[in-house]
Structure 1
Amino acid sequence: MLELTDTQIGTWVASFILPLFRVAAVLMTMPVFGTTLVSARIRLYFAVAITVVIVPALPPLPEVHALDLSALLLVAEQVIIGALLGMSLQLLFQVFVVAGQIVAIQMGMGFASMVDPANGVNVAVISQFLTMLVTLLFLAMNGHLVVFEVLTESFTTLPIGGGLLVNHFWDLAGRLGWVFGAALLLVLPVITALLVVNIAFGVMTRAAPQLNIFSIGFPLTLVMGMGIFWVGLADVLPHYQALASEALQWLRELARAR
């Protein structure tokens, strides 16, 4: 008769439950899968399926007693690590959201906002368009597969029970400045062109004060801004490739930081 001890049962359960918490935390916070477009039940099914696949290839896990405080601390550790990995990838998408907001304000479309179904907040229409474009590019270039690869490697580089590093939080906070800098660099040609248009309208108003700048300038700025933005879309793909490569490389460095 096969006899199982509490330690054996706890170890077997921990070998599946602890990786499940890290995988689920990544899926709950990463772009595309972590949005409201994918229901929590579907994300949980994905987390269970991924965990079942990667558990046999994971390094040996520490012995865990399910009812001890140490087990809860390990669960919290896995949730924090998974959330950090997922949120670090969110910064790539926020670059384009901020860029769209900057362009919308410059061309006079800052008031034209709509509810973002992915995040449940109001964003500018330009930001929503760039978000959908980046989502399609991210999936088309297999960015989600790279994330799953890094997630699997993190169990070796950041083993369960290995502890957390404060550097992880500081690295994530330091990347916030990178978001605004990358967004400004992305839309700098559009901003420069719109600045020239506004200066031209200022000169026209100075030369002919009888022109109503409010009835002429705003519509022309909007139309020319849309045209300049449409022309600038030709450079979105090279910028996305550079930003995505940098974000995914930083994700690997974050997972390997020891």
Structure 2
Amino acid sequence: MIDLINAFPVFLLVFIRVTSFFVTVPLFSYRNIPTTYKVGLGFFLSYIMFLSMEHPSLAIDEAYFMLVLKEMLVGLFIGLIAFMVLSAIQIAGGFIDYQMGFAIANVIDPQTGAQSPILGQYLYTFALLLLLIVDGHHLILDGIYYSYKIVPLEQVWLPLGSERLVEFIATTFNSMFIIAFQMAIPLVGCLFLVDIALGITARTVPQLNIFVVGLPLKILVGFILLVVVMPVFLILFQKLFESMLFTMRGLMQIFGGV
């Protein structure tokens, strides 16, 4: 039997980390998911994790409040680093939108409440659907479960000021923009060649109003290229999911001092 009085502090720490994780992680943190559902899912997942892990001896004292703060930061940072990696899709869509002429029109993302590029939101929706198809959401939940083995509950401190953590975050930012550039470069490069062709046409046929012809032509070419390279995008999305999981694990290892 579980001693409820001694087990309550442990369960509360587990619940805080899981619910903090749901605040920032992709797919579980979106506004179109009711808050009551998030809290209920976090409660039941916390209960399952609580029953399947070793229970350290904890008491509610001065150090316990530091553990509460630590658990909150661990959940928020792990979810945030995953969100950063998947943001490469919207950045790539922003690059493509700028080249196609869609940069002037943004849409409100109902999932986050922020403005996002049109094609970025389109590709991001496809990525979320693919994440569900390949059971990526299960891997995300596995990540928060196994985080207790790397960052134990009784650990009070986090190396937030360490050089290793700063370098890791900078490397993650760098790789996010590199992945976004690699995803966008086929369409951006082809549309740049269309710009060159339109410029040559404007010089050789001055009677043609290139501003009237150019914008619809670039949009048409952009949509055709988007359909052609969509299978490649789906493969890149899967690689991005793997990178997200490795990044989450790397951050946990830094927090756990591994």
Give the 5 Å matches for 1:43-62: 43-62=38-57
Preserved CA contact (<8 Å) 1:59 1:155: no
Note the C-alpha offset of 1:160.
Answer: 1.4
Preserved CA contact (<8 Å) 2:85 2:172: no
Note the C-alpha offset of 1:123.
Answer: 1.5
- Cα distance between partner residues in 2 of 1:13 and 1:169: 35
Query: What does residue 237 of structure 1 align with?
Result: 234
User: What's the secondary structure of 2:113's corresponding residue?
Assistant: coil
Query: What does residue 28 of structure 1 align with?
Result: 23
Which deviations, in whole Å up to 9, do the C-alpha atoms of 1:117-153 show, x marking residues without a partner?
0011121221111111011011111111111112111
Structure 2 residue 102 is the aligned partner of structure 1 residue 109: yes
RMSD: 1.7
Classify 1:242/1:231 alpha carbon distance in 2 versus 1 (closer, same or farther; 3 Å): same
Note the C-alpha offset of 1:29.
Answer: 1.0
Preserved CA contact (<8 Å) 1:101 1:126: yes
Query: What does residue 173 of structure 2 align with?
Result: 176
Query: What does residue 131 of structure 1 align with?
Result: 124
Counterpart residue type for residue 72 of structure 2: V
Query: What does residue 87 of structure 2 align with?
Result: 94
TM-score (norm 1): 0.91
Query: Which of 13, 38, 43 is the matching residue for 1:18?
Result: 13
Note the C-alpha offset of 1:250.
Answer: 2.1
Preserved CA contact (<8 Å) 1:89 1:248: yes
- Cα distance between partner residues in 1 of 2:245 and 2:200: 46
Counterpart residue type for residue 50 of structure 1: L
In structure 1, the gaps of 5 or more residues are none
Preserved CA contact (<8 Å) 1:59 1:156: no
Preserved CA contact (<8 Å) 1:74 1:161: yes
Query: What does residue 252 of structure 1 align with?
Result: 249
Preserved CA contact (<8 Å) 2:82 2:247: no
Counterpart residue type for residue 87 of structure 1: L
Classify 1:169/1:25 alpha carbon distance in 2 versus 1 (closer, same or farther; 3 Å): farther
- Cα distance between partner residues in 1 of 2:57 and 2:197: 69
- What is the count of residue pairs matched by the alignment? 249
Preserved CA contact (<8 Å) 1:62 1:160: no
* Structure 1 residue runs of 4 or more that deviate by more than 6 Å after TM superposition: none
User: What's the secondary structure of 2:29's corresponding residue?
Assistant: coil
Preserved CA contact (<8 Å) 2:24 2:76: yes
Counterpart residue type for residue 242 of structure 1: K
Note the C-alpha offset of 1:99.
Answer: 0.8
